[in-house]
Amino acid sequence: MLDPNSTRDVGPRVGTPLWVYLASTTAAGFALLGVSLFNFGLDRLQELAAKPLIWVILCMVIIGELRPIVRSRMPSDDGVPTSLPFGFALLISYGLPVAGLVQAIATAIAGVARGYSTHRTVFNLAQYTLSFGAANAVLLLASGAAPWVPHGPELLIVMLSGATYFVSNLVLVECAVAMHERVPLHLAFGKDLGQRLFVNGVLFSLAPLVVVAMNHSVWLVPLFSLPLVALYTSATLSAKREYQANHDELTGLANRKLLILRTQEALSEAQQRKQRVGLLLLDLDRFKEVNDTLGHPTGDRLLQTVARRLAHSVRPGDLVARLGGDEFAVLLPQVRDAASAREVAARLRVSLAEPVRLDGMDFDLEVSVGIALYPNHAPDFELLMQRADIAMYVAKERRTGVELYAPHKDRNSTARLSLFGELRRALAEGELEMFYQPKVSLDDHRAVGLEALVRWRHPKRGILPPEEFVPLAEQSYLMRSFTHEVMESTLPRISHWWSEGHRLPVAVNLSARELLDPTLPEIVAAGLSRHGVPPEALRLEISERVMVAEADAVTPIILTLSDLGVSLSLDDFGTGYFTLARIKGLPVEEIKIDESFVRRSVDDPDGRVIVESAVDLVGTLGMRAVAEGVETAGVAEAMHAMGCYAAQGRFFAPPLEAAEVVDWLLKNGGLDHSSGERTTSA
């Protein structure tokens, strides 16, 4: 007996092809059983019910339904029932009415005992009836009416009848499985076909012996339980060993070995049918905190809950696997496109969003999901897994939840590895250069500061923007060298400008990796001292995204930098959902409104309200607001009207090479040419 709903024991939606198939099969099975019982007659049924033999056989069939011989790829409650020799013996001896009725009673009892849903139980009952009906037709055509005791060459008829039963049952069940799991019919038929033939052949071979025993003594029949118990035990142990080898002990999910096998099968089928295969890699966020705080037993129970939720959220035919720790994988043997894979990923995240209550505490689960598709991203399992892993780490780093693999995000691609080697050389040979973009007062359009922007003057590719190489440094051991190079390029320039009277604060951007370095304050202090730069000449810009993701970790370092006398600025405000109320108590003097909000505020009334509200709150907190990305006079005027103190953008000046800065300041910076002193304060 197979389960056409093995993933989830939930009935199909009314009107779907699977529902139509199950309903029509069930109706046909019940109709056949009803007609055969009507023709058999109530009197004959009552006469048979008085025989102890029928009750003994019924007990054996019930026990056999509860103890199937499992297959290696099936849950322990599915397989070929050991009731088959006894049910088939009744078919040979008494025909379809008796065999069908006894089997129906046993199936109903087993369904209740094992907690099957109604639709599953009635389908199983119907498929048995139809299969027995086909086998009975062969017996009637060859031997006439029952009762009948086969002997000699007549055993060939029994074999033919058994083969008819096997094929009928296989077709009825696997058609339902194929529709439920959305796999081609030939794949459903082909799964473990050799093992099924062997097990069914052994069980069918016992049926004639049961018939002989029934005709000699009713008490001989229970003796067949001994070889069946031996067969059941052997098959169960074998299946258990294979199950343990292919499944995770803690969660019961597939392990890496089974995932590899199923993925390779899916890739082979997809190649033939020109379809896509999806692989999703999932990693729980902050799971280590649970283990460290509450211990591994609580963490294990949390993983078991996650496993159950994932297993009940995938589509029929998909495979959920645990790879180890808090890392899971989901194989989508068939997926239409990237959007469909994202839908599955979103559904998995939703399934885990509901808090889990353990030991009187509620745990909020968040998961990062990476997606890779065949053939779009990889041709085999190893590369598919690697690229799903890359996408998952991108989702974790960017806190986006779900990411599809993209080559330009692959820090391990050949091009990126090559660029990494060149960056190491560039740091050693001084190819990094600092450009400086003025920050201009919106009252009088005079410079009130500069922002240092790193560029790489690549010998072959020209000047590279920071987004092409800074992430490489952040993700490697080069970060400290990179920070040192930026400081050593910027601080001497600041010292030179201030000594000549161009006393504008110069801002340097800090990444999350730099802010998480506990030695950063020491590096900054040593650089200021070495180059004779007053602390007020340096301003450090911190991205809002860093404050959202790592606020607790970076706050001590921010406070230490402030104690040095270095001013701080919050950059890219509006991109990380950081509320200004959370900044209270931090030594931030300036808020830089991200250019995406600046652009929206000109044409979008809602955007304007947001910016105006932010500027008002900034002023209330004693800080100044600076607009980024100002490209036109209209935007500059709008920002001024909203109360922004200053602005940056190509309307005022693009990033300038160091040699161009003084000339630009003399023309636009409000400097007294004779004395070099500013006529207005910064």
Write out pLDDT tens, residues 45-54: 888 888 899 9
Q: Rounded to whole angstroms, how far apart are CA atoms 25 and 31?
A: 10
What proportion of the chain, given as a percentage, has pLDDT over 70?
85
Q: Rounded to whole angstroms, how far apart are CA atoms 128 and 563?
A: 82
Torsion of CA 370, 551, 580, 630, to 10 degrees: -60
The 10 Å Cβ neighbour count of residue 562 is 18
Tokens 């069980």, located at residue: 203
What pLDDT score does 100 carry?
Answer: 92
- Helix ranges restricted to H, 114-181: 118-143, 155-181
Break the chain into its structural domains and give their ranges: 17-246, 256-409, 438-453+477-661
Q: What is the DSSP string of 584-631?
A: TTS-EEEEEE-HHHHHHHHH-HHHHHHHHHHHHHHHHTT-EEEE----
Mean pLDDT of 599-608: 74
Torsion of CA 196, 201, 207, 213, to 10 degrees: -120
Cα-based distances in Å from 595 to 6, 591, 631, 670: 53, 12, 10, 26
Q: What is the DSSP string of 37-73?
A: HHHH-HHHHHHHHT-HHHHHHHHHHHHHHHSEE--TT
Helix (H, G, I), strand (E, B) or coil at 358: strand
Q: Rounded to whole angstroms, how far apart are CA atoms 97 and 102?
A: 9
What pLDDT score does 680 carry?
Answer: 35
CATH architecture observed for domain 438-453+477-661 = Alpha-Beta Barrel (3.20)
Q: 538 CB contacts (<8 Å, ≥6 apart)? A: 491, 494, 505, 506, 508, 524, 528, 566, 567
Multiple choice CATH, 256-409, 3.20.20.70, 3.50.50.60, 3.30.70.270, 3.40.50.300: 3.30.70.270
Task: Work out the pLDDT band at 673, boundaries 50, 70, 90.
Answer: very low
Q: 99 CB contacts (<8 Å, ≥6 apart)? A: 87, 88, 90, 91, 132, 136
Mean pLDDT of 176-203: 75
The 10 Å Cβ neighbour count of residue 83 is 28
Single-letter residue type at 8:
R
**How large is the angle between the packed helices 84-94 and 193-216, nearest 10 degrees?**
50
- Summarised one tens digit per residue, pLDDT across range 55-99 is 999 999 999 888 888 765 554 446 788 889 999 999 988 889 999
Mean pLDDT of 425-454: 88
Q: At residue 119, does pLDDT exceed 90?
A: no
